[in-house]
Amino acid sequence: MDQKRNRRLGNKYLILLMFALALFSACKEDKKEVLEEEVVEVEKPKDIYEFGFNLNEYVVKRDTVKSGESFGQILEQNKIGYPKIFHIAEKTKETYNIARFFQAGKPYTILCSKDSLELPESFIYQPTKEEYVVINFKDSIHAFKGKKPIKYVEKTVTGVIDNSISVTLDEKGVSAVLTNLLADNIYAWTIDFRRLQKGDRFKVIYTDKYIDDSIYTGVHDVKAAYFEHNTEPFYAFQFETDSVKGVIDYFNEEAKNLRRAFLKAPVKFSRISSRYNLRRRIAVYGYKIRAHRGTDFAAPIGTEIMATANGTVTKSERRGGNGNYVKIRHNATYETQYLHMKRRKVKVGEFVKQGDVIGWVGMTGNTGGPHVCYRFWVNGRQVDPFKQKLPEAKPISDSLKAKYLDFIKPIKIQLDAIPFDEVEKTIPEDTITNNTNLITHNY
Residue 82 has a pLDDT of 87
Q: Is residue 20 part of a domain?
A: no
Q: Same domain for 162 and 118?
A: no
Return the percentage of the chain with pLDDT > 70, whole number. 82
Q: Is residue 233 part of a domain?
A: yes
The predicted model gives 159-179 an average pLDDT of 89
CATH number of the domain at 86, please: 3.10.450.350
CA distance 133 to 65: 14
Q: Same domain for 177 and 117?
A: no
Q: Same domain for 142 and 192?
A: no
CA angle 220, 222, 223 (to 5 degrees): 120
Residue 279 has a pLDDT of 67
Residue 18 has a pLDDT of 67
Domain termination site, one of 124, 147, 170 = 147
CA distance 152 to 154: 6
CA distance 361 to 342: 5
Residue 4 has a pLDDT of 57
Residue 204 has a pLDDT of 96
Q: Is residue 8 part of a domain?
A: no
Q: Same domain for 310 and 360?
A: yes
Residue 334 has a pLDDT of 92
Residue 8 has a pLDDT of 61
* pTM > 0.95: no
Q: Is residue 38 part of a domain?
A: no
CA distance 193 to 300: 24
Residue 397 has a pLDDT of 84
Q: Same domain for 168 and 247?
A: yes
Neighbours of 208 (CB within 10 A): 20
Q: Same domain for 218 and 188?
A: yes
Helices within 63-112 (DSSP H only): 71-77, 82-92, 98-101
The pLDDT-based confidence of 213 (bands split at 50, 70, 90) is confident
Q: Same domain for 253 and 238?
A: yes
407: left (phi over 0), alpha (psi -120 to 50) or beta: alpha
Q: Same domain for 211 and 275?
A: no
Neighbours of 12 (CB within 10 A): 10
Domain termination site, one of 147, 172, 202 = 147
> Is the pLDDT at 178 greater than 70, yes or no?
yes
Q: Which of 21-25, 102-106, 124-128 has the lowest mean pLDDT?
A: 21-25
> Is the pLDDT at 423 greater than 50, yes or no?
no
Question: Is the CB of residue 233 less than 8 Å from the CB of residue 224?
Answer: no
Residue 293 has a pLDDT of 84
What is the length of the chain? 443
Neighbours of 209 (CB within 10 A): 18
Question: Is the CB of residue 89 less than 8 Å from the CB of residue 72?
Answer: yes
Q: Same domain for 139 and 160?
A: no
Query: How many folded domains does the chain comprise?
Result: 3
Q: Round the average pLDDT of the chain to a whole number and report it.
A: 83
167 contacts: CB under 8 Å, gap ≥ 6: none
Q: Same domain for 256 and 158?
A: yes
What residues make up the domain containing 238?
A: 150-260+393-431
Q: Is residue 35 part of a domain?
A: no
Q: Is residue 192 part of a domain?
A: yes
Residue 223 has a pLDDT of 96
| pLDDT tens-digit series, residues 299-312 | 999 999 999 988 99
The pLDDT-based confidence of 227 (bands split at 50, 70, 90) is very high
The distance of Cα 368 from the centroid of its chain, to the nearest Å, equals: 33
CATH number of the domain at 322, please: 2.70.70.10
The pLDDT-based confidence of 422 (bands split at 50, 70, 90) is very low
The pLDDT-based confidence of 13 (bands split at 50, 70, 90) is low
Q: Same domain for 364 and 295?
A: yes
Is residue 233 helix, strand or coil?
strand
Q: Same domain for 192 and 254?
A: yes
Domain termination site, one of 147, 179, 202 = 147
Q: Is residue 18 part of a domain?
A: no
